[in-house]
Amino acid sequence: MRRFRHPKDIHVGVVGYGDQFNMGRAYLEEMQQAGMTPVAVAEIDSSRLDTARKEFPGIETYSSLARMLKGSQVDLVTIITPHNTHARLALQALRAGKHVVCEKPLAITTAQCDAMIAAARTNKVIVSAYHNRHWDGCIREAVRTIKTAAIGDIVRIEAHMGRWEPPQDWWRSSKSISGGICYDWGVHLLEYSLQLIDSEIVEVSGFAKSGFWAPRTAWKDDTIEDEGVPRSPFRRWAVGDALHHADRFPSQRRRPGDHGDQGFVPVQPENMGVGPAEGREGGGDQGSQSAKRVVAILSEHRRASRKPKETNHHGRMGPPPHLYTRPGKPQRRKRQGH
């Protein structure tokens, strides 16, 4: 593997310079700020190549990755394209001896991911996934809080994203292109969990609900799910529950954290819109009272001298689940929304 003495020696290029979120420009700027040298852009839309030349004077532009690999001196390729193209494009670059950073999700099948990893090893280059929400302030604050042992050992993480609106008429709403709601939104919440728990995932299970929005969209039967709920147990006892409902808010009868043993950390609840039935508790097909993005980290303080108390509704021994962790004696919190 080639070594670089300085960041500026790494010549970078992006594949995909679409106008949605301007991610191509953003990623080139981030790599430039890190000291790397932007040299090339590949994009099938010629008007976007014109935009790239204006935003990065002197940059090379190509109508395909193949032409960029043949004509430029790029060392690192960043792929920002529809998810079902990630594997094909990454394999092209890896087999050409280029390092690859691929926008999440890395690919949409395990076989594709395995092929990309194998190609990287064969050609002695690096392949990695980029998670653009890794540095979100809410999760960084949660990481800092957890490291202080303020709430003890984590036993459960709940992560929600959602809003009330139909899927848009773009490729992210196609399940065959995007991989589905858990691939597009769910990976953000799973990556949050991986930052909080220093452990391996031992399995992934879950369920999805479809059919509410599909008849009303351009994608019909290929529309992404209305909601998806993966569940990911970790080797160190903790469980991650990720409720992904970017397009239809599901029923939610309990506040995240109500079933912890000694405390929880709610991480920056963020209002993301409400449905037509604003007065309802929870939510469903007709709307929700509040659609929020929230991560709740639940924990248990384990003490050798602790005496068994009443059993909570998850079967573990401990005090009633509706208590915050406070300095000194825990204070009972009024329960809501049940």
- Identify the three-state secondary structure at position 245: strand
Tell me, yes or no, whether 88 lies in a domain: yes
**Whether residues 120 and 160 fall in one domain:** no
**Whether residues 116 and 163 fall in one domain:** no
- The parent domain of residue 145 ranges over 137-300
Cα–Cα dist 57/54, whole Å: 6
Mean pLDDT of 315-325: 30
Q: Is 233 exposed, middle or buried (0-12, 13-18, 19+ CB in 10 A)?
A: middle
Q: What is the CATH number of the domain that holds 291?
A: 3.30.360.10
Q: Which residue has the higher pLDDT, 140 or 66?
A: 66
**Whether residues 101 and 148 fall in one domain:** no
Report helix angle 46-55 to 23-33, nearest 10: 30
Domain boundary pick from 112, 130, 148: 130
The pTM (predicted TM-score) of the whole model is: 0.75
Cα–Cα dist 181/192, whole Å: 16
Tell me, yes or no, whether 218 lies in a domain: yes
Q: What are φ and ψ of residue 109, in 5° steps? A: -140, 155
Judge whether residue 128 has pLDDT over 60.
yes
Tell me, yes or no, whether 70 lies in a domain: yes
pLDDT value at residue 1: 77
**Whether residues 39 and 113 fall in one domain:** yes
pLDDT value at residue 212: 92
Tokens 């709430």 — which residue? 151
Confidence of residue 220 (pLDDT cuts 50, 70, 90): very high
**Tens digit of pLDDT for each residue in 143-160?**
888 888 878 878 888 888
**Whether residues 119 and 186 fall in one domain:** no
Judge whether residue 267 has pLDDT over 70.
no
Q: How many CB atoms lie within 10 A of CB 131?
A: 18
Q: What is the CATH number of the domain that holds 39?
A: 3.40.50.720
Tell me, yes or no, whether 68 lies in a domain: yes
Q: Domain total for the chain?
A: 2
**Whether residues 237 and 172 fall in one domain:** yes
Cα–Cα dist 87/111, whole Å: 10
* Percentage of the residues of the chain whose pLDDT score is greater than 70: 70
Tell me, yes or no, whether 178 lies in a domain: yes
Measured between alpha carbons, how far is residue 103 from residues 74, 184, 302 in Å? 18, 10, 39
Mean pLDDT of 233-262: 49
Judge whether residue 330 has pLDDT over 80.
no
Judge whether residue 54 has pLDDT over 50.
yes
Tell me, yes or no, whether 86 lies in a domain: yes
Q: Which long-range contacts (CB under 8 A, 24 or more apart) does 305-313 make?
A: 312/259, 312/261, 313/259
Measured between alpha carbons, how far is residue 313 from residues 68, 258, 310, 322, 325 in Å? 58, 11, 10, 11, 18
